[in-house]
A and B are shown apart, each in its own frame.
Chain A
Amino acid sequence: EVQLAESGGGLVQPGGSLRLSCAASGFALRSYGMNWVRRAPGKGLEWLAYISFGSTNIFYADSVKDRFTISRDNAENSLFLQMNSLRVEDTAVYYCARGPLWYFDYWGQGTLVTVSS
């Protein structure tokens, strides 16, 4: 069974950093592109970043470019999101999702990031 499990969320002050992890099981992570998506309170889904299976292609939403970094460790079946210079408006539930950019077929349950002083 395909499963994705995010971790690493929590409360952080504005300007701080967090590193989210996504543990994949039930499939070979090395064969798939992966994404991060978030949903802020009262807002809709927002795609944030994509990394191809070999890490050769990486794309970011403008809202997080130059602040967030997506990476992966295929040997450890793990996906990461390094989030720096966090803002109040980054408060959201963050999801990892498997897929090629034009669809996301499996999602994790999400991890909550709260940016507040």
Chain B
Amino acid sequence: QSVLTQPPSVSAAPGQKVTISCSGSSSNIGNNYVSWYHHLPGTAPKLLIYDNNKRPSGIPDRFSGSKSGTSATLGITGLQTGDEADYYCETWDSSLSVAVFGGGTKLTVL
């Protein structure tokens, strides 16, 4: 059981918008940067968002990140079937002195 809580699954139609939440505490999200990843088993995970809301070069602006208090949110607009994957939030936990991932959210584009 992760210290970061994500919904197990979300779904939406192509072209629509979806948000994925990540809930933590003051020892992790509340006082540290959050990052987000896309992962399909058998491939390398991909960084989508770092430092709460920054996009690496090459990541389209359809992907956005935000943080408020002890929660963070990943937003994806203009959904495409190719966006189907598992999505993870991640941060540093200052109390535990470990990096932590959320449990992951499976995105289905209907």
Binding site for B on A (CB under 8 A): 35, 37, 39, 44-47, 50, 59-62, 93, 95, 97, 101-110
Binds A, one of B10-18, B19-27, B34-42, B75-83: B34-42
Q: How far is the CA of A107 from the CA of B35 in the complex (A)?
A: 14
Q: Which of B39, B51, B92 contacts A101 (CB 8 A)?
A: B92
In the complex, how many residue pairs between chain A and chain B have their CB atoms under 8 Å apart?
71
A45–B45 CB distance below 8 A: yes
Minimal beta-carbon separation of B5 from chain A (angstroms): 12
Contacts of A110 in B (CB 8 A): 44
Q: Does B110 contact A (CB under 8 A)?
A: no
Contacts of B43 in A (CB 8 A): 109
- B99 in contact with A44 (CB, 8 Å): no
Judged by DSSP, the binding face of A is strand
What is the size, in residues, of chain B's interface with A at 8 Å between Cβ atoms?
Answer: 30
CB-based contact A105/B56 at 8 Å:
yes
Within 8 A of A (CB), among B34-72: 34-35, 37, 39, 41-47, 50-51, 56
Quick check: A35 and B99 within 8 Å, CB to CB?
Answer: yes
User: Which residues of B lie under 8 Å from residue A50 when comparing CB positions?
Assistant: 99
Q: Is B91 interfacial (CB-CB < 8 Å)?
A: yes
Q: Tell me how far the C-beta of B88 lies from the nearest C-beta in chain A, rounded to whole angstroms.
A: 5
- Which of B39, B51, B97 interacts with A59 by CB under 8 Å? B97
Query: Once bound together, how far apart are the Cα atoms of A45 and B34, in whole Å?
Result: 15
What residues of chain B lie closer than 8 Å to A61, measured between beta carbons?
98
12 contacts between A and B (CB under 8 A): A45-B37, A50-B99, A101-B92, A102-B50, A102-B91, A102-B99, A103-B35, A104-B37, A106-B47, A107-B46, A109-B43, A109-B44
